[in-house]
């Protein structure tokens, strides 16, 4: 009895399983026949057409930009005068200027002790006064001797002696006057004067020190003028002419404009570079001794330009993303040229009528779908 009941129960379970399987197969058949898309397919289709970024487009602009020649060089003084004492072995008593001071021509920069020179000057004046009296006496004697000789009282020899005495006294007086003039000049040299307008660039004068022959007391940048001595390759030297505008970039980042004054007539045989002398205006951004980069504006030429935000640098190359069709972008390799402000020249690789993504290109890849707007990009 137990075996019979077990067999019946197993057969009933088998029939129930088969019935459920048939119902599932029938449901799948009718579902596929109905044409309704599966719930999984709809999200896949929507994701395929979803834009990667909302962008704004721009067109390349053709602008007249200066054709520039880059160069580097040192900023130096136009002319630097070395100022020293013109009298030696005298003590400096006063220094009136410091490094960086502006001076005018004839301004007193230092004073030298004048006591000894003053005594020499007084002695020379006294000597001149004495010899002037002697010369006047000799002149009177010579005139009287001439009168008496004509009357027959003096011989020719005696008259000659009086005339010789006169000439000797006059010569001694002239020498004394020369010594007086020299003493006066030494007295004037006790004031060290500025030979020209300018700026003090160095000072070695110290109160209490003795002046020495050829000793440097001050250095003066004449007129406060500076110049940029730019090194230009010999192949480009002929393109730079007098009057050309040069723009320097100071170490602080500030731009300073100058004008080419002269071009060196020779080239360094070691570097094959020639010097171009550029006059610079007075500016706190540049100082003598600085190294500066700059460029010469040689001429004007048209340039196809884009905003710098439209250019993407990847793996050492420059790319832009131009719109193809309605909503797809293509990564395009370009060659860049000059830069002015916030715009950059596209030298090659892009048509003038191409529609280019203006900003946000760094988030795009080749073939991405985008949404184009006319307002600011998001």
Alpha helices in the chain (DSSP H): 2-33, 41-49, 115-151, 156-188, 234-237
What pLDDT is stored for residue 5 in this prediction?
A: 43
What pLDDT is stored for residue 64 in this prediction?
A: 85
Per-residue pLDDT of the chain (378 residues; tens, 9 = 90+): 444 444 454 455 556 655 565 666 555 544 455 444 444 444 444 445 577 788 888 899 898 887 888 899 999 998 889 999 888 888 999 999 999 899 999 999 999 998 888 888 888 888 889 888 888 888 888 777 777 777 666 677 777 787 888 888 889 889 988 988 888 888 888 899 999 999 998 999 999 888 988 889 999 999 888 999 999 998 888 889 999 999 998 888 888 999 999 999 999 999 899 999 999 988 888 888 889 999 998 888 888 999 998 999 988 899 999 988 888 889 999 999 888 888 999 989 898 889 999 888 888 888 888 888 875 544
Sign of CA dihedral 229, 235, 240, 245: negative
Do strands 255-263 and 245-249 pair parallel, antiparallel, or not at all (unpaired)? antiparallel
Longest dimension (CA), the chain: 203
Residue 118 C-alpha from the chain's centroid: 50
Could you tell me if 221 and 288 are in contact, meaning their C-beta atoms sit under 8 angstroms apart? yes
What pLDDT is stored for residue 37 in this prediction?
A: 47
What pLDDT is stored for residue 43 in this prediction?
A: 47
Residue in the block written with tokens 């057969």: 11
| Token representation of residue 209 | 């020190």
What pLDDT is stored for residue 20 in this prediction?
A: 63
What pLDDT is stored for residue 19 in this prediction?
A: 59
Three-state DSSP at 130 gives helix
Helices 115-151 and 156-188 cross at an angle (nearest 10°) of 160
* pTM confidence score: 0.57
What pLDDT is stored for residue 6 in this prediction?
A: 45
What pLDDT is stored for residue 103 in this prediction?
A: 93
What pLDDT is stored for residue 83 in this prediction?
A: 92
């Amino acid at each position: 009895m137990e075996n019979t009941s077990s067999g019946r129960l197993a057969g009933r379970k088998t029939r129930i399983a088969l019935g459920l399987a048939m119902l599932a197969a029938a449901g799948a058949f009718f579902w596929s026949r109905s044409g309704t898309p599966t719930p999984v397919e709809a999200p896949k289709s929507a994701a395929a057409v979803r834009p990667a970024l909302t962008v704004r487009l721009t067109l390349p602009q053709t602008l007249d930009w200066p054709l520039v020649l880059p160069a580097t060089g040192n900023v130096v003084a136009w002319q630097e005068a070395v100022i020293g004492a013109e009298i030696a072995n005298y003590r400096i008593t006063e220094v009136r200027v410091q490094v960086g001071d502006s001076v005018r021509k004839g301004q007193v920069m230092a004073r030298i002790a004048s006591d000894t020179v003053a005594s020499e000057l007084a002695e020379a004046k006294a000597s001149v006064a004495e010899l002037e009296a002697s010369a006047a006496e000799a002149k009177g004697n010579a005139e009287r001797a001439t009168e008496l000789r004509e009357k027959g009282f003096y011989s020719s020899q005696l008259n000659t002696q009086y005339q010789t005495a006169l000439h000797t006294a006059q010569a001694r007086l002239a020498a004394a006057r020369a010594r007086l003039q020299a003493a006066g000049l030494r007295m004037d040299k006790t004031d060290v004067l500025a030979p020209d307008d300018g700026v003090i660039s160095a000072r070695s004068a110290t109160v209490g020190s003795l002046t020495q022959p050829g000793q440097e007391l001050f250095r003066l940048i004449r007129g406060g003028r500076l110049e940029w001595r730019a090194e230009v390759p010999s192949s480009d030297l002929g393109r730079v002419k007098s009057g050309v505008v040069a723009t320097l970039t100071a170490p602080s980042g500030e731009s300073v404009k100058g004008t080419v004054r002269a071009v060196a007539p020779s080239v360094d045989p070691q570097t094959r570079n020639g010097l171009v002398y550029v006059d610079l205006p007075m500016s706190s951004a540049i100082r003598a001794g600085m190294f500066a980069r700059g460029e010469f504006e040689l001429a004007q030429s048209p340039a196809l330009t884009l905003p710098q935000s439209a250019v993407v640098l990847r793996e050492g190359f420059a790319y832009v993303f131009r719109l193809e069709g309605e909503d797809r972008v293509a990564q395009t390799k370009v060659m860049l040229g000059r830069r002015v402000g916030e715009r950059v020249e596209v030298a090659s690789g892009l048509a003038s009528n191409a529609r280019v993504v203006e900003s946000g290109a760094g988030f795009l890849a080749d073939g991405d779908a985008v949404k184009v707007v006319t307002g600011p990009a998001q």
